[in-house]
């Protein structure tokens, strides 16, 4: 109805005639799911909107820092970014904008967002950061308040989602009051730079999409068996011999670039250097690091996991992880520890001898624990925390108190109960492996998986600090990473941000439809999620 009214109002202008005719025509096709209009994703904790609607003056709109609020590059750059995110790139806007525009009625116009927060800016987001904020849009004043700059970033995203393009350079926003804070502190996306290289450009595009979905951790699974694209300062041969080729390497400058891009958006970069398994690509440059495998009593030319019986292995790890601890500013490093294949260790007489001398018998899980313990001690020596895959705990390693255990296997409901009963901070990713694809609207399954849905005390539940969605790279590269991840990952974004009670798929699907089209409008190749439908073309 609103569209038709506007058309009649403007029909004296030649410019509108074509558009109005098409708007007045009655089409019979209907999408499978009707999109909402002006609903943010993920849903804020407490949001009240009224039917009162204000115009937003895109041309003169200002983001203002309240006097007394400590400025920093994070907020200054966010203001510039959100002007474009909310109102579209300026050149595009001009292309479609008619010469005659209705002058905004000053009474009824929002032309400024005043932002205030209390604490001086941190340089980097951390697990302890406060992302809460309050957003109030009433009359011609809109204000955003937070404790920390990180809350201001989250509030800017929500504000930008409330602004609705009406076509012809017009925007509106409803009277709104929001009190918001995330349910979980760790809301991650894992991308795999080893199975297929992902360019810095695509990583940044993904980080931008993450920020717009309020994800706050980029788990960078940067190396694995297949390739070692990390360009080490101390061990340059690791990428020279371990990458696919010289064009598929992350230089130190690339890594700084990614970390800085993420920092400005309140996203932590947690690198993963997985060992002792998943290290085939390390072996081509670091001699004697990997276990030599035997068959029928003689060397067969293949290699297994890192050799845990050699002191030289630990000397290398100490040196290498010292570099990693310097290069990546986040407190946490992901150390992997998953899927260790024992068969090569079992075949090797040197390892057998070592097992005997240590009194491990034939229990190779003990050997793995021995290795992880030494590695964990090295990392603690650098005053870093670590994340590990669940096997490290399953094998009984003693880990530091601030360790984060990532539950990724089947049977995760029992595993969550077990890991939290041991007192460790825990992340869930088992139900969010987006590299598994299937026909249909699979976001509904991801949406239904809750990381606190296990039998445990409230103290155990409180140890669940969030989760991660994993997009492993066997069948993913620059060509499809965005469309495969988005907006499927958005389902998980809402599960990790919004209140536990926000769990109805039927209540979410219309907002998901709107969110997907909003991502498309903002330039992401986000795939359709709800069956047949369309995104309306909204002229900026």
Ligand X SMILES: *[C@@H]1O[C@H](CO)[C@@H](O)[C@H](O)[C@H]1NC(C)=O
- Interface residue list for ligand X (CB under 6 A): 38, 46, 48-49, 51, 53, 174, 177, 179, 237, 295-296, 413, 453-455
> For ligand X, which is the closer residue by CB, 48 or 108?
48
Cis peptide before 42 (omega within 30 of 0): yes
Half-sphere exposure of 335 (CA within 13 A, CB side): 31
Nearer to ligand X, 294 or 424 (CB): 294
289-295 contact pairs (CB < 8 A, 24+): 289/313, 289/316, 291/344, 291/345, 291/348, 291/351, 292/344, 292/348, 293/343, 293/344, 293/347, 293/348, 294/347, 294/348, 294/349, 295/347
Nearer to ligand X, 119 or 166 (CB): 166
The structure tokens listed for 463 are: 């140890």
Phi, psi at 110, each rounded to 5°: -100, 115
Which ranges in 386-504 belong to alpha helices (H)?
391-394, 412-421, 443-448, 458-462, 481-485, 488-497
The CA R_g of the chain, rounded to the nearest whole Å, is 26
Residue by residue, what is the 3-state secondary structure of 425-441? EEEECHHHECCCCCCCC
What is the closest distance, in whole angstroms, from the C-beta atom of residue 411 to ligand X in the complex?
Answer: 11
| DSSP H helices in 58-147 | 73-87, 90-96
Minimum gap (Å) between residue 458 Cβ and ligand X = 15
Shortest separation between residue 361's beta carbon and ligand X, angstroms: 25
Buried/exposed code over 8-39 (b: 16+ C-beta within 10 A; e: otherwise): eebeeeeebeebbeeeeeeeeeeeebebbeeb
Q: Give me the least distance between CB of 520 and ligand X, in Å please.
A: 21
Task: Compute the least distance from the CB of residue 170 to ligand X, in Å.
Answer: 14
Closest distance to ligand X from the beta carbon of 347 (Å): 11
The smaller minimum CB distance to ligand X, of residues 173 and 264, is found at 173
In terms of CB distance, is 166 or 174 closer to ligand X?
174
Cβ neighbours of residue 414 under 8 Å, at least 6 residues apart? 454
Task: Name which of 41 and 220 has its Cβ closer to ligand X.
Answer: 41
How near is the Cβ of 499 to ligand X at its closest, in Å?
A: 9
Catalytic residue chosen out of the listed positions 260, 339, 474, 500: 339
Please, are residues 416 and 405 in contact by the beta-carbon 8 Å criterion?
no
339 is catalytic: yes
Q: Of 111 and 232, which CB lies nearer to ligand X in the complex structure?
A: 232
Residue 265 phi/psi, 5-degree rounding, is -105, 10
DSSP 287-324: TT-EEEEEETTEEEEEEEEE-TT-HHHHHHHHHHHHHH
Active site residues: 339
């Amino acid at each position: 109805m609103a569209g038709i009214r506007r058309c009649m109002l403007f029909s004296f202008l030649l410019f509108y005639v074509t558009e109005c005719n098409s708007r007045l025509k009655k089409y019979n096709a209907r999408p499978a799911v009707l999109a909402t209009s002006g609903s943010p994703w993920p849903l804020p904790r407490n949001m009240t909107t009224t039917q009162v609607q204000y115009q937003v003056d895109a041309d003169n709109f200002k983001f203002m820092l309240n006097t007394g609020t400590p400025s920093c590059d994070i907020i200054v750059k966010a203001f510039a970014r959100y002007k474009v995110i909310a109102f579209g790139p300026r050149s595009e806007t001009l292309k479609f904008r008619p010469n005659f525009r209705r002058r905004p009625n000053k009474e009824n116009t929002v032309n400024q967002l005043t932002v205030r927060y209390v604490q001086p800016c941190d340089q980097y987001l951390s697990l302890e950061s406060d992302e809460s904020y309050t957003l109030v849009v009433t009359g011609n004043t809109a204000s955003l308040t937070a404790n920390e700059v990180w809350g201001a970033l989250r509030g800017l995203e929500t504000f930008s989602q409330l602004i609705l393009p009406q076509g012809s350079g017009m925007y509106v926003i409803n009277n709104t009051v929001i009190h918001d804070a995330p349910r979980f502190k760790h809301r991650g996306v894992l991308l795999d730079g080893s199975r297929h290289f992902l360019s810095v450009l695509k990583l940044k595009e993904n980080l931008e999409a993450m920020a717009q979905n309020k994800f706050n951790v980029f788990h960078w699974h940067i190396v694995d068996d297949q390739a070692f694209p990390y360009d080490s300062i101390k061990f340059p041969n690791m990428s020279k011999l371990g990458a696919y080729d010289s064009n598929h390497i992350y230089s130190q400058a690339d890594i700084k670039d990614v970390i800085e891009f993420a920092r400005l958006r309140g996203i932590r970069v947690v690198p993963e250097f997985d060992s002792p398994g998943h290290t085939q690509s390390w072996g081509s440059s670091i001699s004697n690091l990997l276990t030599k495998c035997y068959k029928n009593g003689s060397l067969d030319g293949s290699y297994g996991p890192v050799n845990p019986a050699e002191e030289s292995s630990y000397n290398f790890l100490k040196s290498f992880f010292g570099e990693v601890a310097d290069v990546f500013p986040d407190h946490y490093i992901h150390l992997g520890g998953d899927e260790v294949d024992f068969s090569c260790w079992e075949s090797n007489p040197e390892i057998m001898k070592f097992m005997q001398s240590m009194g491990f018998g034939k229990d190779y899980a003990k050997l793995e624990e021995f290795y992880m313990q030494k590695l964990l001690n090295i990392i603690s020596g650098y005053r870093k925390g670590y994340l590990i895959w669940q096997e490290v705990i399953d094998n009984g390693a003693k880990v530091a108190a601030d360790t984060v255990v990532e539950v990724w296997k089947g049977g995760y409901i029992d595993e969550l109960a077990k890991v939290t009963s041991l007192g460790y901070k825990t992340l869930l990713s088992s139900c969010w492996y987006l590299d598994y694809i299937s026909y249909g609207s699979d976001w509904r399954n991801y949406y239904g998986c809750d990381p606190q849905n296990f039998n445990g005390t409230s103290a155990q539940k409180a140890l669940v600090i969030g989760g991660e969605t994993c997009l492993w790279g066997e069948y993913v590269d620059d060509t499809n990473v965005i469309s495969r991840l988005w907006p499927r990952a958005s389902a998980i974004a809402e599960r990790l941000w919004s209140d536990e009670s926000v769990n109805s798929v039927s209540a979410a699907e219309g907002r998901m439809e709107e969110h997907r089209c909003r991502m498309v409008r903002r330039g992401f190749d986000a795939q359709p999620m709800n069956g047949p439908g369309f995104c309306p073309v909204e002229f900026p």
